[in-house]
Amino acid sequence: MINIIDTKRKSLIHLYRGESGRIIEILGGTGFRRRLNVLGIREGQIIKIVSKQPLRGPLTISVGNSQITIGRGMANKIIVE
C-alpha cells in the first residue's frame, strides 16, 4: 500500500474539503479502473474534494466539469500527490 514516510503520495480520503491533488495511481483491477475511466477519473487528472460526509460516508469530488459522489472504499484506491 502507501508508505507512511512518503508525504507526497496519499490516498484521496486523506485530502481535506477544498483540497486538490493530481491522480498518480489507481489501485485495483481492470474492472475498477474501467469504471473510474467511464466516470472520467484517470491518472494525471486534477481532482478536488467538494465535500466529505461524516461517519465514513461518501465523498463528493470534482473532476473536470463534473461532480461525482464515490464511496470511501473507492477513494482509498485513488492515490494523489
In terms of pTM, does the model score above 0.85? no
C-alpha cell at 24: 498518480
Rounded to the nearest 5°, which phi and psi values hold at 36?
-65, -35
- Going by C-alpha positions, the residue among 12, 46, 71 that lies closest to residue 2 is 12
Contact 62, 69 (CB under 8 A): no
Contact 23, 39 (CB under 8 A): no
**Where in the chain are the domains?**
10-80
Each of the 81 residues of the chain gets a pLDDT tens digit; together they read: 555 555 688 999 999 999 999 999 999 999 999 999 998 899 999 999 999 888 888 999 999 899 999 999 999 999 999
Fold of 10-80: SH3 type barrels. (2.30.30)
Q: Quick one: how far is CA 37 from the chain centroid?
A: 12
